[in-house]
Amino acid sequence: MIAKKIEDALNQQVAAEFYSAYLYLSMSAFLESIDLPGFATWMRVQYQEEVSHAEKMFDHVIERDGRAAVRAWEAPPAEWKSVLDIFETAYAHEQKVTGLINDMVNLALSEKDHATYNFLQWFVNEQVEEEASAKAIVQQLKLLGDSKGGLFMIDRELGRRTFTPPAGSQ
């Protein structure tokens, strides 16, 4: 049986993951509106990943005989100044999520919930990848400056990204 504090924290993180999904979907919509379909595809894949993260946590609560809860989240922004602004926002958001995951890891340790601690290690590793990916795109965008050709090339490259469900997902 899962402790109430752990159940609450995981349910809160489910809401945070769905907020992340909506944030990336909103970014995708914005990028489509400025005719950057490759960047939009990258964000759409990001959206799918975040939904799968929320579902993974939701299922963990249920598997531990807890009560999974669906909570409301605020609407994400819909406008950004530039593609760089979007990816700087995404990078900062992933850093915030890393902090939330780390807080849950610390809670699992303090509650001596080794099953949840072990479960959360996947998310710890995932956050390293999420931050590195967003940071790399920020750096590329900064390097190209005002180069429309460079933006076009990155757009084409990012458009090749596809969603791969995490191991153990249905």
How remote is the C-alpha of 109 from its chain's centroid? 23
Tracing tokens 């907020």 back to the chain, one arrives at 19
Among residues 100, 96, 62, 77, the alpha carbon closest in space to that of 27 is found at: 77
Six-digit token string for 112: 């001596």
Six-digit token string for 166: 């995490």
Q: Which residue numbers in the chain have pLDDT < 70?
A: 168-170
Three-class secondary structure of residue 34 per DSSP: coil
* Cα–Cα dist 29/163, whole Å: 17
- pLDDT at 5 (0 to 100): 97
- pLDDT at 168 (0 to 100): 63
- pLDDT at 169 (0 to 100): 58
- pLDDT at 158 (0 to 100): 97
Domains of the chain: 4-158 (1.20.1260.10)
- Quote the pTM value: 0.94
Output the CA angle 53-57-62, nearest 5 degrees.
145
